[in-house]
Amino acid sequence: MTSTPIMTVMIAAVRKAARGVQRDFGEISNLQVSVKGPGNFVTNADKRVEKILREELAKARPSYGVLGEEDGEVKGQDPDHRFIIDPIDGTTNFMHALPLIALNVALERKGEIVAAVTYNPVMDELYHAEKGTGAFLNNKRLRVSGRRDLGDAIIATALPHRGAAAAPHEAAELQAMQKATSGIRTLGSTAVEMAWVAAGRLDGVWSHGLNPWDVAAGILLIREAGGFVAPLGEGSNPLTSTGFVGTNADLLPQMQKLLAAAKA
């Protein structure tokens, strides 16, 4: 398929930033690691990837703002456009040589995600989407799962790690979803989980305690693959809500009803 100028820019930036990740993957003993918080490690790789992404995107769109996990937000001269960056989603997987990681860049226009790239450099899977044109994996069109009964579905979520005990309602949600589905999976990367929902590998995903860079690219991937993403926290925008649910049209009301009942 023919790539638009902005998608060409985003994909080129992600591929350039991924070169070091591919080189470092598996060489855990050579990574210098600092601890940002319990279970939330920051490696030199995270910082290097975000630096490269910021530099490459700025070359092509110098007036756009940037919001990134490591270096925060830089306002741009253009108030309508902002790149949202997650340099390595799944850093703990990366540290343990688990191949479920993703570099993510999304473009926000007036509060709406209009372009997205999620790249797993270990598996060489590049997901991309633009508003109104569909979602793709290595240029193959994606569609969300067609399963209609939650009992037949496999759903992904994040499990609490060291120092991050789940809220009572989250434990209730997990228990309820386990009883209602064919299985729960946790991949250690929300970005990969959302991309896999877009690809139909998973039937749905829900999670709490997230930031915009965790979900920005995945929101558009799922929607452009024919799915839906709805907030679980306050507000109507899953990009700014603290939680979200993503799935197809048939499973969405079933998941929302079950999660609401678990929280009550």
CB 67 within 8 A of CB 82: yes
Between β-strands 125-130 and 228-231, what pairing exists: parallel, antiparallel or unpaired? unpaired
User: Do 244 and 230 touch, CB atoms closer than 8 A?
Assistant: yes
pLDDT tens digits, 155-189: 999 987 655 555 667 889 999 999 999 999 999 99
- pLDDT recorded at residue 170: 85
Q: What is the pLDDT of residue 30?
A: 64
Closest by CA position to 215, among listed 232, 187, 238, 188: 238
What CATH class has 150-263?
Answer: alpha beta
Given a contact cutoff of 8 angstroms between Cβ atoms, the answer to whether 159 and 190 are in contact is no
pLDDT computed for residue 96 by the predictor:
84
End-to-end CA distance of the chain: 47
Fold of 5-141: Fructose-1,6-Bisphosphatase; Chain A, domain 1 (3.30.540)
- Give residue 34's pLDDT: 65
Domain boundaries in the chain?
A: 5-141, 150-263
Stated length of the chain: 264
Report residue 161: phi and psi, to 5°: -110, -175
DSSP category for residue 167: P
**pLDDT-flagged residues of the chain (< 70):** 1-2, 28-42, 161-168
Query: Which pLDDT does position 35 carry in this prediction?
Result: 64
Residue 114 confidence (pLDDT): 98
pTM: 0.93
